[in-house]
Chains A and B, each alone.
Chain A
Amino acid sequence: MFRTIVKKVPELILVMLAATLLTFFLTWVSPGDPAEIYFESRGIAPTADALLAMQSKMGLDQPFAVQYWNWLSGIVQLDAGVSLRTGEPVAQMVKQRFAMTFKLSLLAITLMLVLSFLLAIVASLNEGGPADYAIRLFSFAGVSMPDFWLGLMLILNFVVYLQWFPLTDPYALKSVVLPALTLAIPLTGRYTRQIQSMISEEMTKSYVVGARARGCTEWAIILQHVLPAILGGLTTLFGLSCALLLGGTVVVESIFSWPGLGSMAIESITHRDYPVLQAYVVIMVFIYVSINFIADIVAEILDPRLSLSGGKR
């Protein structure tokens, strides 16, 4: 594990650096003068002097390398500049938005894990029975349903008709339930099928036959022997799902007016708020790279054979 960490950390830093360079370059070459955008986003027609002054204040009169270095130095010190739209420090915006996305993702992941393991186990224990078919149907439906449709149906039924949940107050404790369910249901569909097929495969192995011969119950075999064996295989998929959710789930956040990273990204694209957009991309890369790294480490802990084979199966 230690060897993996030592090997991967420099790679991680290099990928991050390359991503920051690419992000900054793409923003730099994209059409539109950020100083002009700053005024336009406020509905103001600037004078030539005001435009020049703003360009100078933003450092746009500097060469690309200097601009990149200044920006990167800021990022390293967790200072990503100021939003062109709101005038707020980007770091502050990101902190608040990330907290909201984290809350949503945490509940969605928890719901997804509990539901998918439970359903997969029940389906495995009742293979070919009505419960198995019902769970399969749920899985297919979950995977097939577009999240925007599911979200709207949940709002229509639980907000408009039953009035169980609020829609306009994202900070109320109950507000997180519907968007989390909207995220969790399609994921549960996918994970249930995946876990069920992994359990079925394990159940044919000789150690399971041995356990049965020793008189272990099917529940005990699955919980004590099969689940620990399949966790390693799920780690990478799980890591990617976490990264996807933490990146901000744009559609769901838009439907529920959820002030998370996804809606922040959409707003910054609409207003060409480059400092926020740059920070968002850097955070995304950081989340993906870090979670992949953590997933690799966890997979090694769960399955030490990976370490012996140099990280390869």
Chain B
Amino acid sequence: MKLLTPLVAALALVFTPPSVQAVETEKTVNMSIFWLDGDIEPTSGWHGWTLTRCGIGENLLQIDENLDYKPVIAESWQKIDDLTTVFNIRSGVTFHNGRAVDAQAVKESLERAINITDRQDVVIPIDTISASGNTLTIKTTRPYATLLNMLADTVFIIVDAKAAEQDPAGFKYKPVTTGPFQVESFSSETGLVINKHTGHWAGEPQVDRINVKYISDASTRSMALQSGELDFAAQISPADLSILEKNENLNVITGPNLRIFHIRTNFAHPWMQIPEFRQAVHHAIHKDVYAEKIAGGIPARGPFNKLLSFGHQGDDSYPYDQQKAIQLLDDAGLVDTNGDGIRELNGQNIVLQYISMTNHGAQARNIGIAMQSELKKVGIGMDVKQMENFAEASKQGKYDFLFERWTSAPTLDPQYFLESSFKTGARGNSGQYSNPKLDALLEQMDNTLDGDKRAALGAKGAKMLMDDVAAIFLFYQRGNVVHNKRISGVHKFVSEIYYIDERLGLANE
């Protein structure tokens, strides 16, 4: 008996059902997400993306599948003057716990987010927020062009601040929000189980329950779609898409998203400070082939996708031209004097360091290998490294080229990416790029309220980066969502901040 007790306890531990289990009902949908953090407190980091992707959290306004603003908790809004915007809160909105959402509740939610968020990039210069009935008035301390963009950020998902205050520890795993689905259980290892919010302002959702499974491996998501275990998944690898397209039970929707993959240049190294050298490197590589054949993406012409009003619409400034690359290098005096096939600068062989991170996958490494081969043809050496911790290498500047991935306009405004990635001294600017003209343009953008003018400035800033070869903008990701035909109401959002919403339904009902 003494021996049996620990044995039984051990077996009980092993076979005890976990906190999150797949539950099946007729109106259950199984979907997967490919990224999940330790909790889903929307004011922390990028956790709110999980809430918007699964139809749990809603903002005052959101960005729809056509990249337009969509009224959500706010039914409408109006700019009174340069500093004041008035929002009309939709009637009949309730939190998941049944509490009515009025302007006061929204005010509490926004103030909570502003006070506790750990993100520095969403600081809004708020003067006052006042609430009266269903009217919410936000005043800023200075003209602030991107107020609407910011309020669409997932940090500002409308939550029941009182519920959060009562149980902060529980709230981060089970936030009380307003979306068509509410969290039943959360596990950072396996995902979420969410139920319909019967009191949702757009009507009771058709689907009772969604098992949101956290599956980081793209092949597993693809195979689970084929076996019918998943009804919905996104970010399927391009190699698997052709197989899924042939499956008559599945719908494959593809299209560009807002992610730009680029190679950051380290301006601290002497050869990188020579403009002709940077241009030559750009001319020497078959960028479009990498984009299409290696990464399955869309060749980039600048940091912003041309879907955006500030996206570059023209041709590649530095098309593949090996002879031109050689000419540029020769003209810059970068020649091979010792006959080893590698050009030198001040007697030192030019051997570049290309770094990508392991979780950027094989495509990042393969692009490096392809570049290595092409650069060798014009007399430039390159080492290709893939590492786990490139943050440290990046910080120490031990690279020439750094493979990076950014969502370049998550809230449809160009300033965020240009400022956080290329402004002199910006934290994301590890390559130490510095262009006083770009810095001045960003200052100007700060004081520009008109949307068209901002777009023009954004396009101008992007062109400065291309002219300078501040980075090699490789490709825009071709996003995809795949769903089983048993479900309906699935839309592909270019922003990929949203996957499902109140329109999700069952096709035959």
Q: Decide if A257 touches B215 in the complex (CB within 8 Å).
A: yes
- Residue A103 at the B interface, CB < 8 A? yes
Q: Decide if B388 touches A50 in the complex (CB within 8 Å).
A: no
Other-chain residue from A85, A171, A259 in contact with B21 (beta carbon distance below 8 A): A171
Q: Decide if A39 touches B118 in the complex (CB within 8 Å).
A: yes
Expressed in whole angstroms, the Cα–Cα distance for A103 and B18 within the complex equals 13
Q: Decide if B227 touches A172 in the complex (CB within 8 Å).
A: no
A40-B391, A102-B14 known; A169 vs B22 contact (CB < 8 Å): yes
Q: Decide if A103 touches B120 in the complex (CB within 8 Å).
A: no
B265-293 contact mask (Cβ, 8 Å, vs A): 1 or 0: 00000000000000000000000000000
Expressed in whole angstroms, the Cα–Cα distance for A106 and B11 within the complex equals 10
The chain B residue sitting closest to A162, CB to CB, is: B227
Q: Decide if B37 touches A42 in the complex (CB within 8 Å).
A: yes
The listed residue with most A CB atoms (<10 A of its CB), out of B22, B216, B227, B359, is B227
**Chain A hits for B217, CB < 8 A:** 254-255, 257
Q: Decide if A47 touches B32 in the complex (CB within 8 Å).
A: no
A96-114 contact mask (Cβ, 8 Å, vs B): 1 or 0: 1101001100100000000
The chain B residue sitting closest to A267, CB to CB, is: B216
The listed residue with most B CB atoms (<10 A of its CB), out of A160, A163, A166, A269, is A160
A43-B46, A254-B217 known; A270 vs B359 contact (CB < 8 Å): yes
**Chain A hits for B30, CB < 8 A:** 168
**Chain B hits for A99, CB < 8 A:** 13-14, 16
**Chain A hits for B149, CB < 8 A:** none
Q: Decide if B14 touches A106 in the complex (CB within 8 Å).
A: yes
Q: Decide if A160 touches B227 in the complex (CB within 8 Å).
A: yes
Stretch from B134-142, B218-226, B493-501 that touches the partner? B218-226
B175 → A minimal CB distance (Å): 15
Q: Decide if B38 touches A83 in the complex (CB within 8 Å).
A: yes
A43-B46, A87-B39, A99-B13 known; A31 vs B118 contact (CB < 8 Å): no
Q: Which chain B residues in 210-247 approach chain A with CB under 8 Å?
A: 213, 215-217, 219-220, 223-224, 226-230
Q: Decide if B224 touches A168 in the complex (CB within 8 Å).
A: yes
Q: Decide if B389 touches A31 in the complex (CB within 8 Å).
A: yes
- Residue A177 at the B interface, CB < 8 A? no
**Chain B hits for A159, CB < 8 A:** 223-224, 227, 229
The chain B residue sitting closest to A172, CB to CB, is: B22
Other-chain residue from A47, A86, A160 in contact with B38 (beta carbon distance below 8 A): A86
- Residue B17 at the A interface, CB < 8 A? yes
**Chain B hits for A183, CB < 8 A:** none
A257 → B minimal CB distance (Å): 5
B1-22 contact mask (Cβ, 8 Å, vs A): 1 or 0: 0000000001001111110011
Other-chain residue from B14, B45, B120, B228 in contact with A163 (beta carbon distance below 8 A): B228
**Chain B hits for A106, CB < 8 A:** 14
Q: Decide if A168 touches B229 in the complex (CB within 8 Å).
A: yes
Q: Decide if A32 touches B391 in the complex (CB within 8 Å).
A: yes
Q: Decide if B388 touches A171 in the complex (CB within 8 Å).
A: no
Expressed in whole angstroms, the Cα–Cα distance for A210 and B407 within the complex equals 79
Q: Which chain B residues in 392-447 approach chain A with CB under 8 Å?
A: 392, 420, 427-428
Q: Is the interface of A mostly helix, strand, loop or mixed?
A: loop
The chain B residue sitting closest to A152, CB to CB, is: B219
Other-chain residue from B118, B190, B223, B427 in contact with A50 (beta carbon distance below 8 A): B118
Q: Decide if B223 touches A259 in the complex (CB within 8 Å).
A: no
Other-chain residue from B10, B22, B45, B230 in contact with A43 (beta carbon distance below 8 A): B45
Expressed in whole angstroms, the Cα–Cα distance for A171 and B19 within the complex equals 10
Other-chain residue from B37, B38, B213 in contact with A168 (beta carbon distance below 8 A): B213
B82-93 contact mask (Cβ, 8 Å, vs A): 1 or 0: 000000000000
**Chain B hits for A120, CB < 8 A:** none
A298 → B minimal CB distance (Å): 15
Q: Decide if B118 touches A96 in the complex (CB within 8 Å).
A: no
B26-43 contact mask (Cβ, 8 Å, vs A): 1 or 0: 000010100001110000
The listed residue with most B CB atoms (<10 A of its CB), out of A44, A85, A152, A255, is A44
Expressed in whole angstroms, the Cα–Cα distance for A238 and B448 within the complex equals 71
- Residue A170 at the B interface, CB < 8 A? yes
Expressed in whole angstroms, the Cα–Cα distance for A244 and B38 within the complex equals 28
- Residue A88 at the B interface, CB < 8 A? yes
- Residue B189 at the A interface, CB < 8 A? yes
The chain A residue sitting closest to B39, CB to CB, is: A87
**Chain B hits for A155, CB < 8 A:** 223
Q: Which chain A residues in 246-289 approach chain B with CB under 8 Å?
A: 254-257, 259, 269-270, 272
**Chain B hits for A156, CB < 8 A:** 223
Expressed in whole angstroms, the Cα–Cα distance for A171 and B17 within the complex equals 7
Q: Decide if A32 touches B389 in the complex (CB within 8 Å).
A: yes
Other-chain residue from B10, B15, B120 in contact with A45 (beta carbon distance below 8 A): B120
**Chain B hits for A160, CB < 8 A:** 223, 226-227
**Chain A hits for B215, CB < 8 A:** 168, 257
**Chain A hits for B359, CB < 8 A:** 270
- Residue A150 at the B interface, CB < 8 A? no
B266 → A minimal CB distance (Å): 18
**Chain B hits for A170, CB < 8 A:** 190
Q: Decide if A88 touches B229 in the complex (CB within 8 Å).
A: no
- Residue B358 at the A interface, CB < 8 A? yes
Q: Which chain B residues in 145-194 approach chain A with CB under 8 Å?
A: 188-190
- Residue A180 at the B interface, CB < 8 A? no
**Chain A hits for B224, CB < 8 A:** 159, 167-168
**Chain A hits for B119, CB < 8 A:** 43-44
The chain A residue sitting closest to B226, CB to CB, is: A160
Q: Decide if A269 touches B388 in the complex (CB within 8 Å).
A: yes
- Residue B121 at the A interface, CB < 8 A? yes
Expressed in whole angstroms, the Cα–Cα distance for A42 and B217 within the complex equals 20
**Chain A hits for B121, CB < 8 A:** 45
**Chain A hits for B363, CB < 8 A:** none
**Chain A hits for B13, CB < 8 A:** 95, 99
- Residue B44 at the A interface, CB < 8 A? yes
A168-B32, A171-B18, A270-B359 known; A257 vs B228 contact (CB < 8 Å): no
B154 → A minimal CB distance (Å): 12
Expressed in whole angstroms, the Cα–Cα distance for A95 and B21 within the complex equals 18
Q: List 19 A-B contacts (CB under 8 A).
A: A39-B118, A43-B46, A43-B119, A45-B120, A45-B121, A45-B420, A45-B428, A46-B118, A46-B120, A96-B189, A160-B227, A168-B22, A168-B220, A169-B21, A169-B229, A171-B18, A171-B22, A255-B217, A272-B388
Query: Other than the known A95-B13, A163-B228, what 17 A-B pairs have Cβ atoms closer than 8 Å?
Result: A32-B389, A43-B119, A45-B427, A85-B38, A102-B14, A103-B15, A159-B224, A159-B227, A166-B229, A168-B213, A168-B220, A168-B230, A169-B22, A171-B21, A257-B215, A259-B189, A272-B389
Which residue numbers of B lie inside 8 Å of A, CB to CB? 10, 13-18, 21-22, 30, 32, 37-39, 44-47, 118-121, 188-190, 213, 215-217, 219-220, 223-224, 226-230, 358-359, 388-389, 391-392, 420, 427-428
Closest 6 CB pairs of A and B: A86-B38, A42-B45, A31-B392, A259-B189, A45-B427, A87-B38
